[in-house]
Amino acid sequence: MDVIALSWWQLALAAVMVVALAGCTAAMRLGVGRSLLIAATRTVVQLALIGLVLEALFAAERLLWVALMALAMLLIAGREVMARQQRRLRGGWAFGIGTLAMFLSSFAVTVLTLTVIIGPDPWYRPQYAIPLLGMLLGNTMTGVALALDRLTESAWRQRGVIENRLMLGQPWQEAIGDIRREAMRSGLMPTINGMAAAGLVSLPGMMTGQILAGTAPGLAVKYQILIMFAIALGTGFGALAAVAAGSRRLFDSRERLRLDRLAPPRK
């Protein structure tokens, strides 16, 4: 099956429809028209730039450049995790814990998938490594951000309950146990919902893209199942590591609740 090429005028037509949507929201005074246009502009610029970078990266096919690209993606994702939290930990802990959790989970799952399951030659072949890592980081970033945000916000709202449990002699792990479980549920829920609805409510993006590019549906399904399992692993272990480290940071060595380590809520 031949891939239907898209010309610039077709993309411009799609852009005109987005501008029309922004005009409708402005007419209804919803206050999102400007944000929509800025997001659309960023999409065009960012994807155009990353397209040029990936073309050069695919041509070079060197481990050093792949590693540098992966590091840049990780740091940007860590910044996004910190930006999405209302009550983040002070002193760069929100960035550090989120980034470390994604590194331990997403990078480990990506390398395992490339070396053991897919097996490209070389194993760091950018056509496989960068898209796979990008999908894992994107989903892990969401899960980690949701888990940390629920953890810190719930600890702040339920500080009285936690302190009462501590005074009754419970260790800090038990005093904040319910909150940690809810934080983990929040981090994993988008992934679980996506897996449950795949193929019934929606066709996942990677599978749709492969089919549009001419890949046989059977092969596209196999790759999509692999990716969704990898995303579940990365998100689960990432959220688990972030919740474990974040909840420990909320207590000192004497097992006292230290909410002074949380920054004021963002406005």
Q: Going residue by residue through the chain, which has 267 residues, state the pLDDT in tens, using 9 for 90 and above.
A: 556 777 888 999 999 999 999 999 999 988 899 999 999 999 999 999 988 988 888 888 899 999 999 999 999 999 989 888 888 999 889 899 999 999 989 999 999 999 999 999 899 999 999 989 998 998 899 999 999 999 999 999 999 999 999 999 999 999 999 999 999 999 999 999 988 888 777 677 777 777 777 778 888 888 888 999 999 999 999 999 999 999 999 999 999 999 999 998 876
**Nearest one of 230, 217, 264 to 109, comparing CA atoms:** 230
Residue entry with tokens 């888990």: 147
Q: Is 7 exposed, middle or buried (0-12, 13-18, 19+ CB in 10 A)?
A: exposed
**Nearest one of 69, 145, 52 to 107, comparing CA atoms:** 69
8-state DSSP, 260: G
The pLDDT of residue 187 is 93
Is the separation of the CB atoms in 94 and 249 below 8 Å? no
Tokens encoding 189: 């829920």
8-state DSSP, 216: -
Q: What are phi and psi of 202, to 5 degrees?
A: -145, 155
Q: Please state, in angstroms and rounded to a whole number, the distance separating the CA atoms of residues 177 and 170.
A: 11
Per-residue HEC secondary structure of 154-205 comes to: HHHHCHHHHHHHHHCCCCHHHHCHHHHHHHHHHHHHHHHHHHHHECCCECCH
The pLDDT of residue 133 is 93
Is the separation of the CB atoms in 148 and 243 below 8 Å? yes
The pLDDT of residue 3 is 64
Distances (CA, A) of 171 to 147, 162, 260: 22, 10, 20
Specify the DSSP element, H or E, that contains 129. helix 126-157
Q: Is 155 exposed, middle or buried (0-12, 13-18, 19+ CB in 10 A)?
A: buried
Q: Please state, in angstroms and rounded to a whole number, the distance separating the CA atoms of residues 22 and 196.
A: 33
pTM of the model: 0.83
Is the separation of the CB atoms in 22 and 38 below 8 Å? no
Q: What are phi and psi of 257, to 5 degrees?
A: -70, 125
Q: Please state, in angstroms and rounded to a whole number, the distance separating the CA atoms of residues 220 and 209.
A: 9
